Structure 1
Amino acid sequence: MPIFVMPFPAIDPVAISIGPFAIRWYALAYVTALLFAWWYMLQLVKTDRLWSATPGASAPLQRRDVDDIIVWGTLGVVLGGRLGYVLFYNLPHYLQFPVEALAVWQGGMSFHGGFLGVAVALVLFTRARGIPLSALSDCAAAAAPAGLFLGRIANFINGELWGRPADVPWAVVFPFAGPEPRHPSQLYEAALEGLLLFAVLAACVWAYRSLSRPWLTTGLFLAGYGLGRTVSEFFREPDPQLGFLWGGLTMGMLLSIPMILVGLAVAAAALRRPPRPTAGSAYP
């Protein structure tokens, strides 16, 4: 038992309540993340010098592309996130009670499912618009960590997805996790998958012009998220319906390790190819 334990902050999960209507911090985190992603992607699209090794070339995307992909991306996050949770984390339960799969208000979202949902949305959108998939994917990857940060903060406010029992001075007793002090793993994830990954990608984009090399920013995001999530899983309590899997691995690890490998391969391939010479280059 640690000598000092941090009390769980008394933050009401409901941010605003008007009569029977309530807006939760979790919902506000999603909305704020989408608005920030829209704004940040617009800044990237407006800054032509980030996209090409050739002076004077323009970005391969337009403002209307960013405006419209936010709607597609929102659908991808929500539908993919819920479907991913159903398939990856609690399939036996939902096979027994299939109607509950639609009850999103009861909680249950998967980042990996949301990521796949957004990937499908990007593919469909870029095919419909005839714009480079690599450009839009890189743009979205650069903005995504900010949303991860806000989402994990909302998880902490909700007192969910808590960590394993701990004896560190900053351990927290979560209201729904029993009397044991635990790692605030949501904050670890917010720091690694959110703040740190955003800072690394921002440096790559703005200082080293990673957007000028198609797929590089996407590869770095995949590897960075996978690494941050895998490290955090050593401190996070596994979902009770799954527990620990083979060799002490968790489902989060099993889904993140392939992201690391694919991300590294994508980034390495991007570095081997020459930078985008002009906005009209043939890179997909």
Structure 2
Amino acid sequence: MYVHDLNPVLIRFTDAIQLRWYGLAYLGAFVVGAWLLNVLAKRKLWVLPPGAAGDFIAAAAIFGVFIGGRLGYMLWYYPKAHGWDWINQDPLMLFKVWEGGMASHGGILGLVIFTWVYARRKKVSWRGLGDGLCVVSPLGLFFGRMANFINGELYGRIADGVPWAMKFPRALIEQDKAEGLEFSAAMDAASQASDQLKVPIHFEQFLAVQRHSPAVSRAIEPFLLPRHPSQLYEGLLEGLVLFAILWTVRIRCPKAPPGVLTGLFFVFYAIFRIFAEQFREPDSELVMGGLLTSGQFLSLFMIVAGIGFLASARFVKGSAPALKEP
């Protein structure tokens, strides 16, 4: 069975300066998003004029995705595992994105707030502005999930009898049972396969050796459990399928009232996320008595918000996207 050994670093200049797939995923998302928004603007299917997409995406990346995503992670996911001590002991942890993660739900909320402020400043329809962003956002989600897969993180639950199941070395720590005996046995087996592992090293250093050593992968394979590649499931559903739905509606229904596409994004993203989370190893404590993961719980609010946008498109006066002259 395949043992994950993809390298998250594309090019290593020095130990401190590296070109990582995760960073490229964000860059690719912003570049492709700006290009597609410009395409929509030229077809008069967005409220901003052609050429404005670049500045809009750059601002959305900083004030929506990064700030919202990081705040969402530090206020929701991080405390569940590490508590709230970081606020007093290390408040700069908020900016150390390389020592934690980003929350997609936080990024989405950040974009909602950012587009509202941006629309007021530019005097354009908030719902119309958001519709364009929601059409292209799924591709950014797709790039992000592919980066998660390359990093070997946010892997799936145990998958017995699934032909395409994989084994993720990062799970060695989290699946560790019997007071560390399984982890210790795996490390002992790995040390027999590589001289580099005969001395104690940090787990990240161990992973770096494993990625370049098929012998180490074979040695630890018996100690790993087969898991769903849930990152690929989420990338397919939340990314490609959702983009195909929204892009088709935008092109084939140019007169759709503002808010329809935003509502569809929220509802379909939530449905796809709730479904895919059944195969993903929970990255924080379950909620509602263990019935839902954090991602599923937060997605329920997205369904409510999506219904609200769809209702506003139906009952609140508005018109199809009209190009705002520069």
Cα RMSD, aligned residues only = 2.1
Q: Does 1:197 align with 2:275?
A: no
Deviation at 1:201, TM superposition (A): 0.6
Deviation at 1:272, TM superposition (A): 5.1
8 Å CA contact 2:41–2:323 kept in 1: the answer is: no
The equivalent of 1:71 in structure 2 is 58
- In structure 1, distance between residues paired with 2:276 and 2:308: 23
Task: Report the TM-score when normalising by structure 2.
Answer: 0.76
Deviation at 1:262, TM superposition (A): 2.2
> Unaligned 5+ residue runs, structure 1?
52-58
- In structure 2, distance between residues paired with 1:175 and 1:185: 15
8 Å CA contact 1:81–1:113 kept in 2: the answer is: yes
Amino acid at match of 1:35: V
Aligned partner of residue 157 in structure 2, secondary structure: coil
Percent identity for Structure 1 against Structure 2: 40
Q: Does 1:104 align with 2:97?
A: yes
Deviation at 1:82, TM superposition (A): 0.7
- In structure 2, distance between residues paired with 1:103 and 1:29: 18
8 Å CA contact 2:2–2:167 kept in 1: the answer is: yes
- In structure 2, distance between residues paired with 1:31 and 1:263: 27
8 Å CA contact 2:287–2:293 kept in 1: the answer is: yes
Aligned partner of residue 7 in structure 1, secondary structure: coil
8 Å CA contact 1:216–1:267 kept in 2: the answer is: yes
Deviation at 1:97, TM superposition (A): 2.2
The equivalent of 1:254 in structure 2 is 297
Deviations 1:68-115 (A, max 9, x none): 211221111111111100111122635212323332111311001111
The equivalent of 1:266 in structure 2 is 309
8 Å CA contact 1:60–1:135 kept in 2: the answer is: yes
Q: Pairwise mapping of residues 125-164 of structure 1 onto structure 2 (< 5 A)?
A: 125-164=118-157
Q: Does 1:23 align with 2:19?
A: yes
- In structure 1, distance between residues paired with 2:97 and 2:164: 32
Match of 1:220 among 253, 264, 275: 264
> Unaligned 5+ residue runs, structure 2?
173-223
Task: Report the TM-score when normalising by structure 1.
Answer: 0.87
The equivalent of 1:117 in structure 2 is 110
Q: Which range moved further: 245-254 or 33-42?
A: 245-254
Match of 1:237 among 281, 292, 310: 281
Q: Does 1:35 align with 2:25?
A: no
- In structure 1, distance between residues paired with 2:260 and 2:11: 41
- In structure 2, distance between residues paired with 1:273 and 1:117: 24
- In structure 2, distance between residues paired with 1:272 and 1:245: 34
Between Structure 1 and Structure 2, how many residues are aligned?
265
Aligned partner of residue 280 in structure 2, secondary structure: coil
